[in-house]
Chain A
Amino acid sequence: MKEFYLGVDVGSVSSNFVLIDSDKKVYKKLYLRTIGQPIKVMKEGMAKLKESCPEDTKILGVGATGSGRQLASIMVGADIVKNEITAHAVASLDYCPDVKTVLEIGGQDSKIIILRDGVVYDFAMNTVCAAGTGSFLDRQAGRLNIPIEEFGAYALRSTAPVRIAGRCAVFAESDMIHKQQTGQSLEDIINGLCQSLVRNYLNNLAKGKQIETPIIFQGGVAANVGIVKAFETELNAKIIVPENYDVMGAVGAAILAKEEVEKKGYTTFCGFDMINHDFRARSIECGGCPNICEVVEILDDDKVLARWGDRCGKWSNTIVDKEKTAVKEKLEKLTKEKILVG
């Protein structure tokens, strides 16, 4: 029988699924585009995982991370729900136990994590500015009609990089157009873009932080050899890109799930059966106060699984209350049985 831990990372651009065995080795990884429909992509991912696994596969635990972690955790019954910083740090520590710096550039955000002696020491996260994230590179590749996979290779062929203003995605784009209209070669412009994005990342996120080796670079953008090269030049150090760079968040979530399940002794995973369920999200506008919160309800057929989005806790607490009474009833029953036995 095969036994695995499942890690799910539902991000803004991609949703990743990873199965690791008890030695934390990646058995299977899936990289899907979220395309704005996390519920659909979750089911699709789980269905694909089920197909690719032997019949007697057993999932020992599930961890969820990413901006859609709450939703993902409800759908699969995650044992642990963790923020992206912790998940990425855990995964890179497992890959390289003495890592000191983690550079992570994803679809819509970028992070820097500084580690010392195997613990996170400092971190910064950029979610406001799109310059330097995967979405922007994607857009530029699309505009230049170059497959995103080859984008980095173009940069490596450059002979004389062009300086592109990288502070802001809008300015970077108009600067690129300007340079292209003056007749600069595509390779040089793309290389210039890579360099300016790296400068922007280091000036904004890494300001005042000590970047020490070993340095790990992960997230979807780590596939871009142009960016990797630019980081190496700018930092004058070797950059390690792990084999599973694109799903490190999910790997971290799976490792965390393993730790959690080993501690508590059981899993809350609801099984692959969830792909047959009809999950829906419904949003209600609460009129209880002038905050007018948009409360989101997650339904499994007609059963309300979770509610969130309210500031006061009026809606989300109703679910907690139900859980509480359920636990209470269970405890009472147990004590009663004990009394009967005793």
Chain B
Amino acid sequence: MILTFPHMGSVYILVKTLFDELGATYVIPPKGSKKTLELGTKYCPEMACLPLKINVGNFLESIEKGADTIVITGGCGPCRFGYYAEMHRQMFKDMGQDVEIITIEIDDTGIKGLIAKLRYLFPNKSLLSIANAIVKAFSNMKEADKLDALSYKVRPREQEKGATDAIMNKFEADVLMVTGAKEITKLIKKTQKKLKAVPLIAGYEPMKIGIVGEIYTLVEPLTNMNIEKTLGNMGVEVNRVLTTSHWIDQHILKAGLKIGKRDFEKAAYPYIKTMIGGHAQETAGHTVMYANSGYDGVIQIYPLTCMPEVVAGSILPTISKDKDIPVLTLVMDEITGEAGYITRVDAFVDMLIRKKDKEKQNERVLSRS
């Protein structure tokens, strides 16, 4: 049994830690590329969203490398993603591909069913060691997300252009070469140290932009055209609350244990009072939170036909007006032309810079009179 899984940003670090610890044989799909997208688009329904197409592309590339069992999460409710595992099953059947698909979710069979699936995936492993590996995997995911967040802060301030990119590219290549939770943690920590040592431009106060939207599109660089990197290299600091570890914290731990109202729910309350699926509540809530904490602008990104984000998108102009925070919306699909997006992002950043300059001028005039 050779396992594989779909890509979603640095989720592969979580899965790699888990599989390494449990001694599973697995294939990490090649990093998402044009080929991944072409393969996915060929076999998926046109109106399906971009994440499904990329998932299928990932799987096909992994199967080419010998994988025969796909592990994917499922779940009832959040959005269409909930039934994608079932769709994958049908699609591979139609394609005549002999692969097994294991969905990690709590379905009608309850926790028992989940345990049975884990036992099937990792035979000869005690439940305790599986639980232990999951804890380690989550911990590494958290560190990897911290590493990304750090790079968003360092990139706009670096003295030598490309220093951050070089460190991050090396990390992506190196992490595939090491094995086991401990080694991966060590490498992440080492890279964090390297990033902290990058010489920065003293006293440079970059523009700050918050990124909101549909989580897959935000986390996977193939679907967001490396927005953090693009903005960072324009000298803009980026913040994105939605990460894989944030999702695990908020949706599995906090929501599971039902600990009070989450901060974004409170912030979104005047605009969206309830969960409407996907990350619509987060999108609205985080936009409010970014505005309140002095960010210069917000960029919303989602895949074409994503219903929850369409709803959130129609609410954002109101928040933008109420809170006086500029918002740019980018909708992604497989025929997205990169040039058009770069022009929009470039114009957006320009707009923020000129707005800030004007505000500074006005302040000076006020303080003089």
Could you list which residues of chain A lie within 8 angstroms of chain B, going by C-beta atoms?
67, 82-86, 117-123, 125, 127, 208, 289-292, 311-313, 317, 320
Residues of B within 8 A of A122 (CB): 326
A123 touches B351 (CB 8 A): yes
Residues of A within 8 A of B346 (CB): 82-83, 86
Q: Interface on chain B toward A: helix, strand, loop, or mixed SS?
A: helix
Question: Does B113 lie at the interface of the complex (its beta carbon under 8 Å from any beta carbon of A)?
Answer: no
Residues of B within 8 A of A291 (CB): 33-35
Question: Does B350 lie at the interface of the complex (its beta carbon under 8 Å from any beta carbon of A)?
Answer: yes
Residues of B within 8 A of A320 (CB): 161-162
Partner-binding segment picked from B206-214, B235-243, B273-281, B335-343: B335-343
Beyond contacts A83-B347, A291-B33: 4 other A-B pairs, Cβ-Cβ < 8 A, are A83-B350, A86-B354, A121-B326, A312-B169
Identify which of residues 25-72 in chain B touch chain A, using a CB-to-CB cut-off of 8 Å.
30-31, 33-36
Residues of B within 8 A of A289 (CB): 31, 33
B326 touches A86 (CB 8 A): no
Residues of B within 8 A of A123 (CB): 347-348, 351
Residues of B within 8 A of A85 (CB): 343-344, 347, 350-351
Mind listing 10 A-B residue pairs with CB under 8 Å?
Answer: A67-B343, A85-B351, A118-B358, A119-B354, A120-B354, A122-B326, A125-B343, A291-B35, A312-B169, A313-B162
A290 touches B350 (CB 8 A): no
B162 touches A119 (CB 8 A): no
Closest residue of chain B to A117 (Cβ to Cβ) is B358
Contact of A119 among B33, B317, B344, B355 (CB under 8 A): B355
A292 touches B35 (CB 8 A): yes
Contact of A125 among B30, B161, B326, B340 (CB under 8 A): B340
How far does the Cβ of B219 sit from chain A's closest Cβ, in whole Å? 18
B162 touches A317 (CB 8 A): yes
Closest residue of chain A to B169 (Cβ to Cβ) is A312
Residues of B within 8 A of A313 (CB): 162, 165
Residues of B within 8 A of A119 (CB): 351, 354-355, 358
Contact of B317 among A84, A118, A208, A292 (CB under 8 A): A208
Distance, CA A313 to CA B344, complexed state (A): 21
Distance, CA A123 to CA B327, complexed state (A): 10
Residues of B within 8 A of A67 (CB): 339, 343
A-B pairs under 8 A by CB, number: 66
Distance, CA A291 to CA B165, complexed state (A): 18
Contact of A83 among B34, B317, B343 (CB under 8 A): B343
Residues of B within 8 A of A86 (CB): 346-347, 350-351, 354
Closest residue of chain B to A81 (Cβ to Cβ) is B346
Residues of A within 8 A of B344 (CB): 85, 125
Closest residue of chain A to B359 (Cβ to Cβ) is A119
Residues of B within 8 A of A312 (CB): 169
How far does the Cβ of A198 sit from chain B's closest Cβ, in whole Å? 22
Residues of A within 8 A of B31 (CB): 289
Q: 7 closest A-B pairs (Cβ-Cβ)?
A: A85-B347, A290-B35, A290-B33, A120-B351, A291-B33, A83-B346, A127-B340
Closest residue of chain B to A84 (Cβ to Cβ) is B343
Closest residue of chain A to B61 (Cβ to Cβ) is A290
Residues of B within 8 A of A82 (CB): 346, 350
How far does the Cβ of A116 sit from chain B's closest Cβ, in whole Å? 9
Question: Mask for B87-98, Cβ within 8 A of A = 1, else 0?
Answer: 000000000000
How far does the Cβ of A217 sit from chain B's closest Cβ, in whole Å? 19
Distance, CA A127 to CA B339, complexed state (A): 10
Distance, CA A335 to CA B279, complexed state (A): 55
Closest residue of chain A to B160 (Cβ to Cβ) is A324
Distance, CA A121 to CA B354, complexed state (A): 10
How far does the Cβ of B359 sit from chain A's closest Cβ, in whole Å? 9
Closest residue of chain A to B318 (Cβ to Cβ) is A208
How far does the Cβ of B137 sit from chain A's closest Cβ, in whole Å? 27
How far does the Cβ of A76 sit from chain B's closest Cβ, in whole Å? 20
How far does the Cβ of B364 sit from chain A's closest Cβ, in whole Å? 15
How far does the Cβ of A290 sit from chain B's closest Cβ, in whole Å? 4
Residues of B within 8 A of A317 (CB): 162
Residues of A within 8 A of B358 (CB): 117-119
Interface-central residue, B33, B340, B346, B351, by most chain A CB under 10 Å = B351
Residues of B within 8 A of A292 (CB): 33-35
How far does the Cβ of A263 sit from chain B's closest Cβ, in whole Å? 12
Closest residue of chain A to B362 (Cβ to Cβ) is A117
Distance, CA A84 to CA B339, complexed state (A): 12
Residues of A within 8 A of B226 (CB): 311
Distance, CA A150 to CA B244, complexed state (A): 58
Distance, CA A122 to CA B355, complexed state (A): 11
A290 touches B30 (CB 8 A): yes
Distance, CA A80 to CA B165, complexed state (A): 25
Distance, CA A247 to CA B350, complexed state (A): 21
Distance, CA A289 to CA B34, complexed state (A): 10
Closest residue of chain B to A120 (Cβ to Cβ) is B351
A290 touches B343 (CB 8 A): no
How far does the Cβ of B260 sit from chain A's closest Cβ, in whole Å? 34
Identify which of residues 307-330 in chain B touch chain A, using a CB-to-CB cut-off of 8 Å.
314, 317, 326
Closest residue of chain B to A118 (Cβ to Cβ) is B358
- Known A119-B355, A291-B34: A127·B326 in contact at CB below 8 Å: no
Residues of A within 8 A of B161 (CB): 320
Distance, CA A312 to CA B33, complexed state (A): 11
Contact of B34 among A120, A121, A208, A290 (CB under 8 A): A290
How far does the Cβ of A249 sit from chain B's closest Cβ, in whole Å? 12
Distance, CA A289 to CA B348, complexed state (A): 31
Distance, CA A82 to CA B354, complexed state (A): 13
Residues of A within 8 A of B351 (CB): 85-86, 119-121, 123
Distance, CA A119 to CA B361, complexed state (A): 12
Residues of B within 8 A of A117 (CB): 358
Closest residue of chain B to A209 (Cβ to Cβ) is B317
Identify which of residues 155-208 in chain B touch chain A, using a CB-to-CB cut-off of 8 Å.
161-162, 165, 169
Distance, CA A120 to CA B167, complexed state (A): 36
B326 touches A290 (CB 8 A): no
Residues of A within 8 A of B36 (CB): 290
How far does the Cβ of B25 sit from chain A's closest Cβ, in whole Å? 23
Closest residue of chain A to B354 (Cβ to Cβ) is A119
How far does the Cβ of A309 sit from chain B's closest Cβ, in whole Å? 10
How far does the Cβ of A209 sit from chain B's closest Cβ, in whole Å? 8
Distance, CA A103 to CA B16, complexed state (A): 52
Distance, CA A85 to CA B344, complexed state (A): 8
Residues of B within 8 A of A121 (CB): 326, 351, 355
